Amino acid sequence: MGRPDFWADPSSAQGAVEALKRAKGVVAPLDQVGRRLEEVSILLELGGESPDADTEKEMRSTLDEVETRLGEIEFRTMMSGDHDPRNAFLSVHAGAGGVESCDWARMLLRMYTRWMDRHGFTYELIDEVPEPEGGVRSATLEVKGDYAFGYLRAEVGVHRLVRISPFDANQRRQTSFASVDAAPEMEDIEVDLNDKDLRVETMRAGGAGGQHVNKTESAVRITHLPTGIVVSCQNERSQHKNRAFAMKVLRARVHLVEVAKRDEEMKSLYGEKGQIAWGHQIRSYTLQPYQLVKDHRTDHETSQSQAVLDGDIDGFLKAYLQHRTSRPRKSPEGDGPGRPKGPHAK
């Protein structure tokens, strides 16, 4: 970065800046823990065998801080995937249940944006299909921040809600479903997309009105025919910009499908996600007749359902990451755990 011609290639330079930022994100917390431990060591030397109350209080406070930071570092080391440090695209889609599920999709979107606000992530709504009676049929966010994809990949799958319906005059209990998908932002990975495999549609952008919205066909929806992946974008005023952004999202999602063919873990997240309906959920949110949120992959649960819906999902993220890192990984070839044995093994 000290070279005089560093910014001659802005794209390459920005990549180096991001790489430095990620590296500092690993090194700086460890350096900080080391410095705090040195401070405790000095206090121990100054206090001798019988430190006064103020010195002991300061040492305990510093050690509590060190313990908290070590927990954060341990949490971060669980995200060791190639794409985990990247920004992410987060999509929520309503499933079986009509307007109930559209309202549930809106609730999930709120839950995630509350969580992002707490952790300093920035986000932008790049596409939204509202439901006239309430909620959203689908919505996509661009999420920026360190390890955005590493965190949000834990949420990929079908989410189930059980509650007394606010749309039912008879106050009956209803079950709703919505799916969540996440893909990493990947500027540096080339994915060949053949034009004949794409169906591109333009439409008028939905939204809160204005001179541009709903007057020109600026919104773009692209379908990748071989995989069935559909992406859309309507946040830009220009159809050209919306198409470019939609292609960016499409490349990220197609890349994950290709990875899924080789990676069992990604296959379980993307290739076998299943229908947005009963029997395919990764997590259930029960508000009636009792309060319980339970993740069916890790068995992590809490009765603080309202806190979860307000964005307190760290417990579920950590439980999933611990579950993922504790599973034995299968190796595609050669000797070792998970590899084929017997006379026909290669």
Residues 197 and 160 in one domain: yes
Residue 112's domain comprises 88-326
Q: What is the DSSP letter of 242?
A: H
Q: Is residue 126 part of a domain?
A: yes
Angstrom distance (rounded) from CA 96 to CA 277: 6
Give the pLDDT confidence score for residue 56 in this predicted structure: 85
Give the pLDDT confidence score for residue 197 in this predicted structure: 85
Q: Is residue 346 part of a domain?
A: no
Residues 168 and 50 in one domain: no
Checking DSSP bridges between strand 198-203 and strand 173-184, what pairing results, if any? unpaired
The gap between the terminal CA atoms of the chain, to the nearest Å, is 46
- For residues 294 and 284, is the Cβ–Cβ distance under 8 A? yes
Angstrom distance (rounded) from CA 76 to CA 74: 5
Residues 59 and 110 in one domain: no
Give the pLDDT confidence score for residue 243 in this predicted structure: 82
CATH number for the domain spanning 226: value is 3.30.70.1660
Q: Is residue 310 part of a domain?
A: yes
Q: Is residue 338 part of a domain?
A: no
Owner of token pair 């439901």? 131
End position of a domain, from candidates 27, 51, 77: 77
Residue 327 CB partners (closer than 8 Å, separation 6+):
none
Helices and strands, counts by H and E, the chain = 8, 11
What DSSP assignment string belongs to 136-159?
A: EEEEEEEEESTTHHHHHGGG-EEE
Angstrom distance (rounded) from CA 121 to CA 113: 9
Structure tokens at 31: 């350096």
Owner of token pair 């406070």? 61
Q: Is residue 125 part of a domain?
A: yes
CA angle in degrees (0–180, nearest 5) for 200-201-204: 145
Residues 108 and 236 in one domain: yes
A 10 A CB-CB count for 280 gives: 16
Residues 47 and 143 in one domain: no
Residues 205 and 253 in one domain: yes
- For residues 62 and 36, is the Cβ–Cβ distance under 8 A? yes
* pTM to 2 decimal places: 0.68
CA dist 317 to 46, 133, 285, 300, 312, Å? Answer: 42, 32, 15, 10, 10
- For residues 182 and 298, is the Cβ–Cβ distance under 8 A? no
Q: Is residue 119 part of a domain?
A: yes
Give the pLDDT confidence score for residue 190 in this predicted structure: 64
Residues 192 and 65 in one domain: no
Q: Is residue 301 part of a domain?
A: yes
Residues 213 and 270 in one domain: yes
Residues 50 and 96 in one domain: no
End position of a domain, from candidates 77, 102, 122: 77
Q: Is 294 left (phi over 0), alpha (psi -120 to 50) or beta?
A: beta
Mean pLDDT, each 10-residue run in order, the chain (346 residues): 91 85 83 91 81 85 90 80 86 86 95 95 89 88 91 93 85 89 76 82 63 61 85 77 81 75 53 51 92 95 96 94 72 39 39
Burial 193-215, CB ≥16 within 10 A → b, else e: eeeeeeeeeeeebeeeeeeebee
If one counts the domains in the chain, the total is 2
Owner of token pair 């439409």? 203
Residues 191 and 109 in one domain: yes
Position 124: which residue type? E
Give the pLDDT confidence score for residue 167 in this predicted structure: 79
Give the pLDDT confidence score for residue 339 in this predicted structure: 35
Give the pLDDT confidence score for residue 116 in this predicted structure: 96
End position of a domain, from candidates 77, 109, 133: 77
Residues 95 and 186 in one domain: yes
Give the pLDDT confidence score for residue 247 in this predicted structure: 82
Q: Is residue 29 part of a domain?
A: yes
Residues 151 and 40 in one domain: no
